Amino acid sequence: MTLREQDGPVSVLPRQFPTNRGGLCQKGWTSAELLTHPDRLTTPLLRDPTSGELRPASWEAALDRIATGIGEVQRRHGRDAVAVFGGGGLTNEKAYALGKFARVTLGTRNIDYNGRFCMSSAAAAGMRAFGVDRGLPFPLSDLGHADTLLLVGANPAETMPPLVRWLTELRQRGGTLIVVDPRLTATARQADLHLQPLPGTDLAVANALLHIALTEGYVDDDYVATRTTGFTDVRRTVAGWWPARTEALSGVPVADLEATARALGTAERAIILTARGAEQHAKGVDTVTAFVNLALALGLPGRPGSGYGCLTGQGNGQGGREHGQKADQLPGYRRIDDPAARAHVAQVWGVSADELPGPGVPAYQLLDSLGTDDGPRALLVFGSNPVVSAPRAARIESRLRDLDLLVVTDLLLSETAALADVVLPTAQWAEEDGTMTNLEGRVLRRRALRPPPPGVRTDLAILATLTTRLKGRAPSYRLVHSKGPLLTAANAAEAADSAADGEREELAADPRTVFAELRRASAGGIADYAGIDWARIDAADGVFWPCPSEDGPDSPRLFADGFATPDGRARFHPVEHRPAAEEVCAEYPLHFTTGRVLAQYQSGTQTRRVAALRQAAPDAFVELHPDLAGRLGVVDGEPVRVLSRRGEFRAPARLSSAIRPDTVFAPFHWGGAARANSVTNDAVDPISGMPEFKICAVRVERVAA
């Protein structure tokens, strides 16, 4: 989008861009309202030790409180007693700086981010199959040219409305859209075929589709033989998932399974996309892997106009996980336990590889350990609201209350910020420069329209100032000039000599300089940004990683000539369906699943404050099938409460035949008594650390009863 300010309020205008072609959703159109919202934070807040209330304070007092608190906690409990929790909405520069701040300034291994709750299962599945994690290994526009598109657990009509124009184009061309979702969503209503499985059975559906592809001869045997490994074990596994067995488990009719396999297997150009509905399970990695297996067996990845991909959720969901916010990663999507990766990044940072901490724990485990005997005693939160967004949220809220120090940097007083000892006001998207990376792996520019209001600082400035206060080894952003090659043997030697001599340019608050160092730190990694600079981004409507050379091409399409594995072949992995971590029973007889609505976003901290969005979706609700409502004696609009083994929430009932009679749905954008994540299950995927947001066992009661 494009911003305009002419001595007055900021207006948002559509921009003709390759991904959205001038389209914006209501959230985009109204986003500028938050720049001058009366609830906006413009001064630090400190909790008064006497009254317990948050009160306005100076930056000096707030930063002193943070530095003193961190120092006390680390002296008493060690470096890992301070943790950092980031967000998938941070720019690449801020994500990079936050990871460096945690590992160099604080020296802690305990850092993760809310993107762990978003794409981590798809990321892990992509890494083990392809050797690389990029949401889409092809441009988004390919969707409009597909002959068959299978969407699994995705509802872009409400979560990514500009993307729907590609679905419309596909159907206008005569293509087939198939949606897999337990609900008849706004997207599913546009589909040619809607598969409505029982929540938690997507993996079985994928195995059945591959079973049919094998028996009907849709498998691309030449592709499997020349471009993949491991298919024999997968063939053996899916042999047991005949369509009738899968129908009995999932509720998806045999005829629909066969029609889906036929549409994919006979299409010249076919694409399979997964999203949160398939991923937010304790078996999310295996579920995504099952659909990747299907795509590989059909020969889709790397074939022109075809492929497998994953739809991202947050604004920088792709870039936010590439440069150091994740517990096990260093910049460039490097593994933190890889000695070569540690040596490379340590040289860029001017420290010894031995000084870098090892891997931490994923987001939920980190949050659940806060305030415990063996867990962190202090937490710094940037751009996240786990009080609303975390599973088993009441437990996490209690953990946050047990901390010795909670610091939250945000632009509004979120439910998490309301618990903090220190709240720091931060700049918004229109007030700072930087880069973002979209689901295609396209690195984009974010341009500042105007400076932040008086009293407000950017996240980069906050991190730079805290570094100085903490008197530790500072994140030091050496100035990298754009003249000449970025990475040569001479430059590398010069950088090493400068580090040894202590010659450093401390420009941590300047995003352009931070990005220059990010390029060096990512060079040679999976997500290689070395050949990308802001001028190149501006000249080309973004640049696709990997892009290792300033003079060489970028990579809008992956896998045409091979995969990012040692032998260039993609990996099949046999995966078996297993039940949800919590099954229904007499006391909790219903399946519960969560999701989003069109007018709200994430934990709702921002969107619930926009008048037009609040009018469009003012309150939470509990979606019930009319048959279920009849059995419960519930009428439309009546308050009900949803209870699980972990807690309860309350909201009005919304009767709809779009939901299965055995399943209950609620959006997760609200806090307080309507907080849906009070009941969700905190069981996690053993590989990705993804919690099981999408299914747990509940019962529904009338509030009056």
Same domain for 74 and 155, yes or no, is no
- Picking from 283, 311, 339, the residue at the C-terminal end of a domain is 311
Same domain for 30 and 177, yes or no, is no
Read out DSSP for 267-278?
Answer: -SSEEEEE-HHH
Q: H-helix or E-strand containing 591? A: strand 590-595
Same domain for 631 and 521, yes or no, is no
Q: Please tell me which residue, 41 or 480, carries the higher pLDDT value.
A: 41
143-196 tens-digit pLDDT: 999 999 999 999 999 999 999 999 999 999 999 999 999 999 999 999 999 999
Domain-embedded: residue 181:
yes
Same domain for 326 and 372, yes or no, is yes
Domain-embedded: residue 569:
no
Asked if residues 268 and 285 have their Cβ atoms less than 8 Å apart, the reply is no
Asked if residues 541 and 508 have their Cβ atoms less than 8 Å apart, the reply is no
| Nearest residue to 122 via CA among 309, 364, 307, 332 | 309
Q: What is the mean pLDDT of residues 107-123?
A: 95
Same domain for 171 and 274, yes or no, is yes
E-assigned strand segments in 57-207: 82-86, 111-113, 148-152, 176-180, 193-195
How far does CA 216 lie from the centroid of its chain?
37
Same domain for 220 and 141, yes or no, is yes
| High-pLDDT (> 70) share of the chain, % | 93
Predicted confidence (pLDDT) at residue 483 exceeds the cutoff of 90: no
Domain-embedded: residue 663:
yes
CB atoms within 10 A of CB 398: 12
* 345: CATH: 3.40.50.740
640-680 tens-digit pLDDT: 999 999 999 999 999 999 999 999 999 999 999 999 999 99
Predicted confidence (pLDDT) at residue 476 exceeds the cutoff of 80: no
Same domain for 404 and 494, yes or no, is yes
> Which domain range does residue 622 map to?
590-702
Domain-embedded: residue 61:
yes
Domain-embedded: residue 613:
yes
Domain-embedded: residue 568:
no
Considering its fold, how many domains does the chain have in total? Answer: 4
Predicted confidence (pLDDT) at residue 484 exceeds the cutoff of 60: no
| High-pLDDT (> 90) share of the chain, % | 87
- Picking from 296, 311, 326, the residue at the C-terminal end of a domain is 311
Compute the mean pLDDT over every residue in the chain, rounded to the nearest whole number: 92
Predicted confidence (pLDDT) at residue 5 exceeds the cutoff of 90: no
pLDDT band at 471, cuts 50/70/90? confident
Domain-embedded: residue 555:
no
pLDDT band at 23, cuts 50/70/90? confident
Same domain for 499 and 357, yes or no, is yes
What's the chain's Rg over C-alpha atoms?
25
Q: What is the mean pLDDT of residues 526-555?
A: 96
| Nearest residue to 218 via CA among 153, 265, 181, 183 | 265
* 3-class SS string, 510-542: CHHHHHHHHHHHHCCCCCCCCCCCHHHHHHCCC
Same domain for 346 and 490, yes or no, is yes
Same domain for 455 and 475, yes or no, is yes
**CA-CA distance, 404 to 66, in Å (whole number)?**
11
> Any bridge partners for residue 4, and if so which?
11
Q: What is the mean pLDDT of residues 105-133?
A: 96
Predicted confidence (pLDDT) at residue 254 exceeds the cutoff of 60: yes
The pLDDT of residue 4 is 60
The pLDDT of residue 504 is 33
Same domain for 241 and 304, yes or no, is yes
Predicted confidence (pLDDT) at residue 402 exceeds the cutoff of 60: yes
- Picking from 311, 330, 356, the residue at the C-terminal end of a domain is 311
The pLDDT of residue 653 is 98
Read out DSSP for 404-416?
Answer: SEEEEEESS--TT
Q: What is the mean pLDDT of residues 18-31?
A: 83
Q: What is the mean pLDDT of residues 279-298?
A: 98
* 613: CATH: 2.40.40.20
| Nearest residue to 66 via CA among 334, 403, 369, 487 | 403
Same domain for 12 and 49, yes or no, is no
How far does CA 461 lie from the centroid of its chain?
25
Domain-embedded: residue 558:
no
